[in-house]
Amino acid sequence: MERSLTHIALFAALIAVLGLVPKIDLASGVPITAQSLGVMLCGTVLGARRGALAVSLFLLVTLAGLPLLSGGRGGLGVLASPTVGYLIGFPIAAFVAGLVTTQLRAPVGIAAAIGAALGGIVVLNALGIVGMSLMLDKTLAEAALLAAPFLIGDSLKAVLAGLVTQAIAKARPEALLSRA
C-alpha cells in the first residue's frame, strides 16, 4: 500500500514537472504539451488503477489552484476552457494505457506503446475533441481538424512511453507495476 501511494505521488509529480517544458500554443486554445507523455507513462508503468489515481491526484491539486498545467495554468477556470475534454480524459487515458499494457501479451515495450497510443491518442483526443467542440462552438469535424496537429507529437510520445517502460522493465522490473 505504501509503495503504491509513493508511486502514485511520484507520477503525479512527473506530470507536473513535464508542465515545465514550454508549451506550443495553437489557434484552438489547446496547447501542445509534454504532459500527455506523463499521462501515458502513468498507465504504462503503474497500471490502470494506479495510473488513473496518479493522474487524478495531479488534476485534484491543479483544480485546487496549483498552477501545474503547462504555461502555469491551474484552478477551476481550466474547466471552462477548450482543454476541458483533455483534462477529463487524462485519468481515462492513463487507465486505458495501463489496462492494455497489463493485458496485452506482447513484449512490454510493444504492449506499452500500443497502450499509450490507445489511451493517450485515441481516448484522449476523442474526449478532447468533444470538449473543444463544446467550448469553441464547433462541429465535431471542425474540432477534429483543430486536434490534427497533436497526432504526430502524440505518436512520438506513445513510442517514447513504450521505450521508457521497456527500459524500466529491464533495469528495475520490480518498479514496473503494470506487469506485476
Can you give the CATH number for the domain in which 78 is found? 1.10.1760.20
Range of the domain at 96: 2-179
CA of 121: how far to CAs of 4, 37, 98, 173, in Å?
Answer: 26, 10, 14, 26
Q: How much is the pLDDT for 63?
A: 98
Query: What mean pLDDT do residues 144-150 have?
Result: 93
User: The whole model's pTM is what?
Assistant: 0.95
**What's the CA gap between 125 and 133, in Å, rounded?**
12
> In sequence order, what are the residues at sequence separation of 6 or more whose Cβ sits closer than 8 angstroms to the Cβ of residue 147?
28, 30, 125, 128, 129, 132
Percent of the chain residues topping a pLDDT of 70? 100
Q: Residue 142 above 80 pLDDT?
A: yes
DSSP code of residue 21: S
Q: Residue 23 above 90 pLDDT?
A: no
Q: How much is the pLDDT for 135?
A: 97
Supply 16's cell numbers.
507536473
Q: Residue 27 above 80 pLDDT?
A: no
Say how many domains are in the chain.
Answer: 1
**What's the CA gap between 158 and 43, in Å, rounded?**
11
Q: How much is the pLDDT for 114?
A: 98
